[in-house]
Amino acid sequence: MSATNDRMSPEERRAGASLASIFALRMLGLFLILPVFSVYAKTLPGGDNLALVGFALGAYGLTQAIFQIPYGVASDYFGRKQVIVVGLLIFALGSFVAAWAPDMTWVIVGRVLQGAGAISAAVTALAADLTREEHRTKVMAMIGSSIGLVFALSLVGAPILYGWIGMGGLFIMTGVLALAAIVLLLKAVPPAPPPH
């Protein structure tokens, strides 16, 4: 293997960094909610129902699991970036619904919509498309470490932000971060190969 193959190209580095940042923006918003949600739930109608609170937390993971494979297949047909944009828009919509939610039922609706914006499969597929096989694990490691980093930051930052802007503010921030991820995707991620 030549020395040039041992190093990631500038385009591969840019793809890895920008896709890791997209994951980080999306996951930061989600992780910020987790440490303070149980405190917030008690302030809402229906928040004394532990089953509803548990479902509000788990609804995201449930719908994300359901939509991962369809989003991956759709990204094969329609293009990775298009599917990621749609997913992030749905995720942002869910965040704004949850921010507005007058009761626990509407929080659940918002969380279901957040999970329906399941872009993980399409993002990792795009990362694979934009990198050579020998560097793919490095890009996946960049994505994985960005998730770990924002998780640690959220544990520290969530209580502080909750005190400043409340849960509605956290949900709005989550939606805004998702919209920022769309801008990053369109401006920073190298062009994707055409759909197969």
User: 15: how many CB neighbours lie within 10 A of its CB?
Assistant: 24
Query: What pLDDT, on a 0 to 100 scale, did the predictor assign at position 3?
Result: 46
Average pLDDT estimate for 80-102: 96
Cα R_g (the chain), whole angstroms: 18
pLDDT of residue 73: 92
State yes or no: pLDDT of 59 exceeds 80.
yes
Predicted local distance difference test score (pLDDT) of residue 196: 61
Mean pLDDT for 7-27 is: 90
**Residue 195: pLDDT above 80?**
no
Model confidence at 191, pLDDT cuts 50, 70, 90, reads confident
Range from 2-6, 110-114, 150-154, 188-192 carrying the lowest mean pLDDT: 2-6
> Is the sign of the CA dihedral 86, 90, 96, 99 positive or negative?
negative
Rounded to two decimals, the pTM is: 0.92
pLDDT-derived band of residue 118, with 50, 70 and 90 as boundaries? confident
> Taking Cα atoms as reference points, which of 189, 192, 176 lies closest to residue 91?
176
The mean pLDDT value for 114-126 works out to 90
Contact 26, 177 (CB under 8 A): yes
Summarize pLDDT for 149-186 with one digit per residue, the tens.
Answer: 999 999 999 999 999 999 999 999 999 999 999 999 99
17-39 mean pLDDT = 89
- Report the percent of the chain where pLDDT is more than 90: 74
Among candidate residues 68, 69, 58, 72, the one with its CA nearest the CA of residue 30:
58
Q: Of how many residues is the chain composed?
A: 196
With a cut of 70, say whether residue 4 has pLDDT above it: no
